[in-house]
Amino acid sequence: MTGAALALVLIMGGGANAATITPPSEAFAQNPGSDYFLADYTAYEAYLKTLASQSDRMKLVDFGKSEEGRTQWMAIVSSPANLAKLDQYKSISKRLAKAEGLSKEEAAKLAAEGKAVVWIDAGLHATETVTSQGQIQVLYRMLTLNDPETLRMLDDVIIIFAHDNPDGMELVSDWYMRNEDPKKREFGSIPRLYQKYIGHDNNRDSFMSQMSETTNVNKQLFREWFPQIIFNQHQTGPDGMIVFVPPFRDPFNYNYDPLVMTTLQEVGMNMHSRLVAEDKPGSGARSAAAYSTWHNGMERSIAYFHNSVGLLTEIIGGPTPTTVSLVPEVQLPNGDRPMPIAPQPWHLNQTIEYQYSLDRAVIDYASRNRERLLFNIYKMGANSIERGSKDSWTVTPTRIDALKEAGKSAKTNDTAVAFGRGGAIDPSLYKTVLQKPENRDPRGYVIPAGQADMPTAVAFLNALIKSGVDVDRATKAFKVGDKTYPAGSYVVKTAQAYRPHILDMFEPQDHPHDLEYPGGPPKAPYDITGYTLAYQMGVKYDRILDGFDGPFERVPDLIAVQPGAVKGSGKAGWLISHETNRSFTLTNRLLKAGQPVFWLKTGAKAGKDSFGPGAIWVPASPQAQEIVSKGVKDLGIDAVSVAAKPASETIALKPVRIGLVDVYGGSMPSGWNRWLFEQFEAPFEVVYPQRLDAGDIAKDYDVLVFADGVVPAPAGGPFRPTRGGAQPKPEDIPAEFRPWLGKITDETTVPQIAEFAKNGGTVITIGSSGRLATLLGAPVDIAVARTEAGKQVGLSTKEFFIPGSVLRTKVDNTQPLAYGLPQDVDVFFDRSPTFNLKASATGVARVSWFDTPTPLRSGWAVGQEKLNGSTAVLDIDVGKGKLLVMGPEVTQRAQSYGTFKFLFNGLLYGPAATKN
């Protein structure tokens, strides 16, 4: 070794030898971060394996398969000494996060012994290419740098660099690089969603955990590693700036432990400070963008419900150079935009340097606050256990309104007023109003065994388990108060670390009345406001307000649906309840095999078993017996063998050919429906506008399904406007994708849809695609609208604004479209259309409607009284066919199991009701 080389080693403190680790510039066709270049996942994966083989600072772990079967990798980076004891540190992280059975003193000792765990991921939204390309460079630097700060970080912190969406990175990168001319490269014309089913909504799946990738990530976050900080990186940043960095604007969800919010502000400001100190201007927080911390469905926000600090950055940049625009308002510094940036050309390598600084800032914070982070996650977990073990109350806007109302007639606190604290009221109202005994938070929830759709109840419980919630099962019957529950019932107690998440899944969200300014229009939320999962899924449960116990055992892992059974000994056939969603799967299997299946209009009885309207009747045959016997076991539903065909009038079902309408680039609501159809084994094909425009639709399809947003709606009208940009020219994309081009148009497509329906086809619309009802001449008016210059236009948001909430509707479950549903059902409603029947209407049936001026169950609703009396779900005759209009989003992000039956019934009922 030369003297100069030896001196360099001494100065750098030894450590990793960069010469033995392959730099990105040598591992890829071009250096990631170069203009007009994107590395794909195949190359990224190969590089991870190379790094793992060369560095003692990194362990590469496979943490699951994507929906398309690619491996999701996480690179665990720390000092070699820490990597040698990963299991020990993982155990400490888990014990502190779960907080069970730990004293404050024991937790302090573990915090002193443990290492902070920081999760930093990339690629969730694949067209946000900065995150994946930058992670390559960040990884290399963390494995090769030997400066004191890096070595301290590696010693104090275990950093998990993970990739959220391998399929998307492969698709987007390969699409961008397909053009040999760099100046012609783009990814705005990608033909399909960058996650197999749901594209951008993969960051709305966190609490439901339907997609494989989400389940894999949640397992690491809340069942394996329990990181104290979860950093989820995105783009693009606010206009005229480089990057949005936390803290976020209000409101935040009222279920959080306040310590998670204050820590979030600490970390966020540390990130801003590092950028400013490194002369990297253009960061903004809070009012700089719309991001809030209300909704549980996103990766960084589900973290808060688990006492972890969730971080989101939104940064500009990409492989094609761009410019920083000049926006006058953001040139004036303030507390949310401390250091404005001048307009200038901008390149991907500059963005990566910002990303590197932000990652370092987060890791540095974790290093300097290692023991605090570890102890505080215990503290928050212990707080949750304590709150769930005694009477406690969550203060929400509705309760504050009640407090203010009570205060109007109560004596004012004169001392408070004298000292300038206007608005103070009688302090005794705190107890009598905010802490009413009947308003206290539950100690737990009981999900009784034997409810009508037990497989859906199990799906709900599994969503909780996937996100780290502890669920118990009763080994024997038990009693709470005056009610006895059967063995096999499930119990979710709130005295556990993830109590905020539990409350958020069972209790209604009470979103504040958030205005742009006093007396002004409502401020649009970031995403949605009401989503209570137990409501959406139609799960039956009891809220238990007092402490309780019983013969309970902890469920060790995901719950398998208990096999169903064939009861009875009759030989004529089988009766099956319509109340379980999985009866649709069994029906699809029977129809696929050519077996007759009927719905009984008035239901039936078989011994002690009663079946409501729409009960499924399957005549006996050897093949049907095989399908039914196997199906009830697989699906967890029961069938009753009877000696004679029931006397009820029947609807004979037919095998159906379903056309699920999609558009070039992919529709997320349509993609969710595609996933649903696969799960419930519905026979379908994806159909694009060009095929509809060609006519003769009945040649290939019996049913057309138009998901929310698939039918375009103009801005300013009564239907929520459609998103989506310009489509590419046919000559600019490969020939295989050209048949996907086109849009549904009033002039060309709608007449073909009308012809299809008039000749016996079934058209199903969901959400804003209900615009087809007006285009097809249905005898209905849009309920929440006004007429101006002969046209119906939408109401102002000050008059009517329901931006994603759960509402209650009435249901006529004697109608085929509503078979199996209860008489009252919770629907997801996001500025959805509802209808009034015209006085002259014929051939129209109201299936579900609003019967109260206060239908809001969870979320936020301005002008909800305007829905009273309007119809949400319609069954309309169109010639020989059917138009089935479902205004609410009955398959919202595959969460609303409680309303799936509207769609499932429509797929079978429409063709069965065809007039010959």
Instruction: State the architecture of 37-384 in CATH terms.
Output: 3-Layer(aba) Sandwich (3.40)
Distance CA 529, CA 510 (A): 8
Q: Is 812 helix (H, G, I), strand (E, B) or coil?
A: coil
* CB-CB contact of 356 with 363 (8 Å): no
* CB-CB contact of 233 with 300 (8 Å): no
* CB-CB contact of 36 with 350 (8 Å): no
From 195, 218, 205, select the one nearest 63 (Cα to Cα). 218
Q: Which amino acid is at 297?
A: G
Q: Give residue 835's pLDDT.
A: 97
Q: How many residues does the chain have?
A: 916
Alpha carbon 272 to chain centroid, angstroms: 29
Backbone phi and psi for residue 440, each to the nearest 5 degrees, phi listed first: -70, 155
Which pair of tokens denotes residue 214? 């989400």
Distance CA 226, CA 344 (A): 41
* CB-CB contact of 719 with 770 (8 Å): yes
* CB-CB contact of 818 with 872 (8 Å): no
* CB-CB contact of 254 with 510 (8 Å): yes
Which pair of tokens denotes residue 814? 């004697």
To the nearest 10°, report the CA torsion of 178, 179, 185, 187: -30
* CB-CB contact of 535 with 826 (8 Å): yes
Q: Specify burial of residue 601 (Cβ count, 10 A radius: 0-12, 13-18, 19+).
A: middle
Distance CA 57, CA 464 (A): 34
Distance CA 743, CA 691 (A): 11
Q: Is the link from the previous residue into 328 a cis peptide, with omega within 30 of 0?
A: no
Helices and strands (DSSP H and E) totals, the chain: 27, 39
Max distance between CA atoms of the chain, in angstroms, equals 99
Alpha carbon 462 to chain centroid, angstroms: 15
Give the burial string for 614-637 (b: 16+ CB within 10 Å, else e).
Answer: bbbbbeebeebbebbeebbeebbb
Q: Give residue 551's pLDDT.
A: 98
Distance CA 909, CA 847 (A): 13
Fold of 658-912: Rossmann fold (3.40.50)
Give the pLDDT confidence of 6-26 residue by residue, as tens digits: 333 333 334 567 779 999 999
From 485, 476, 475, 468, select the one nearest 541 (Cα to Cα). 485
Fold of 566-652: Alpha-Beta Plaits (3.30.70)
* CB-CB contact of 802 with 794 (8 Å): no
Which pair of tokens denotes residue 603? 């239901």
Low-confidence ranges of the chain (pLDDT < 70): 1-16, 410-422, 723-724, 916
* CB-CB contact of 719 with 833 (8 Å): yes
Cβ–Cβ contacts within 10 Å for residue 30, how many?
15
* CB-CB contact of 532 with 806 (8 Å): yes
**3-state helix, strand and coil shares in percent for the chain, rounded to the nearest 5:** 35, 20, 45
Q: What sign has the CA pseudo-torsion 812, 814, 818, 821?
A: positive
Distance CA 304, CA 229 (A): 10
Question: Which residues on adjacent β-strands are paired with residue 760?
Answer: none
* CB-CB contact of 508 with 872 (8 Å): no
Q: Which amino acid is at 755?
A: E
Q: Give residue 914's pLDDT.
A: 81
Distance CA 419, CA 686 (A): 68
- The C-alpha angle 551, 554, 559, rounded to 5 degrees, equals 115
Q: Which residues have a Cβ under 8 Å from the Cβ of 485 and sit 6 or more positions away? A: 446, 448, 449, 474, 477, 478, 479
Distance CA 597, CA 650 (A): 10
From 140, 122, 139, select the one nearest 131 (Cα to Cα). 122
Residue spans of the domains in the chain: they are 37-384, 393-438, 440-554, 566-652, 658-912
Q: Which residues have a Cβ under 8 Å from the Cβ of 569 and sit 6 or more positions away? A: 641
Alpha carbon 447 to chain centroid, angstroms: 23
